[in-house]
Amino acid sequence: MDADQQQRQVVCLEFFSGIGGLHYGLLESGVGGRVAMSWDMNENANAVYSHNFGRRPSNKAIDYLTAQDIDMHRADCWLLSPPCQPYTRGGNYRDCDDPRARGLLRLLDLLPRVAHRPTHVFVENVMNFENSRSRVALVTALGGLGFEIVECLVSPVQFGIPNSRLRYFLAARCRWAEPRAGRERGALDDGDDGARAAWAAENSQRTAAYLARGRAAVHTSWPFGPAAATAAGAEIALRPLRDYIDPACDADPALRVPAADIAKRRRPGLDIVTPASRCTATFTKAYGSSHLLGSGSLLQTAREPSAGGGAPQTETAVAAEAAGPERLLGLGLRFFSPDEVARLHHFPQALEFPACTTQRQRLQLLGNSLNVHVVAQLLRHVLFSASAWGEY
């Protein structure tokens, strides 16, 4: 963060705000930022956001935003978590052709046109975004405006959090501002035009060279540079799930996995964990539904007699699945509660869901969310770290 920004709060705009994961990450990062405006079309997400932050995001479609909508806030930083479906198998990898990508593409269209451009941009999305045409458009737009870029794939397990949620992140900072920035267009002379042309040509060459690196430009480990060395050094020992779960939830019938759903599954592959386990699978928006495979981990609550009254063993769960549905039913499988999933995503304890939301809706919203701690570390040690840039 430069000296000027250290003297005042960083003003942020939050696009695709969901239940506020990026906002919470900003608060945890300690960089001194504030969110001036948020946008999301999901009214359930907006109800949760409003309940916790006291201000409801705008439900105006981002692909219909204007430069005036953005300029009025004079924001320094854009925080984005665009829909991931265009870059997933479930969304048929339609990429830029998916209507859900329009919001991101609209922002890229507006970026060179706004009078008050951000100096920092942060983007979160699903793994595989790094292989997309949308990513090329994103890097091209930012690079063409003089932004330096850091991209990475980071998972909570790299911070000792027992949840696998590998996600794509981009941090960008404007290093080479447009020569005529802040001037009236009518006041430009030939020298200004020449300087701008040289600036644009250099940005184009620099961006082309960056894109030519392909996936090699995307960092796949953390820490990925000296500036971030303290971010995870003391946190790499994965914690057991018992630090995140509430034993009282074992008796909640609403969390019990229906026997019918266990019996009807057609293939193995359930991710069954115990309180002693040190990792869980990614929780998706399908978690808590009848789609048990690939939507997230199930918690084994029953104890095996052979375990001598100790904690259930994952090996027992694996053997039980191989033995068939009858054996699985004896494991007392349940879903993680919304509060437990929120803890694994490192939302603050103060997070509350309004009474108007159902358990299913809460799990869907969390499945569409992100890990707050990971975002906070990237904001603190990369995006707003004065020493991070130029090292990657």
Contact predicate 15/107, CB 8 Å: yes
> Does residue 84 carry a catalytic annotation?
yes
25-64: burial string, b at 16+ Cβ within 10 Å, e else: bbbbbebebebbbbbbebebbbbbbbbbbeeebbeeebee
**Active-site pick, 84, 249, 279, 356:** 84
β strands within 260-376, DSSP E: 272-273, 298-300, 333-335
Residue 384: name the closest of 116, 150, 74, 207 by CA.
150
Look at the chain and count its residues: 392
Distance CA 359, CA 343 (A): 15
CB burial of residue 329 (10 Å; 0-12, 13-18, 19+)? middle
Residues 6+ apart with CB under 8 A from 89: none
Q: Give the β-pairing of 218-219 and 147-154.
A: parallel
Annotated catalytic residues are 84
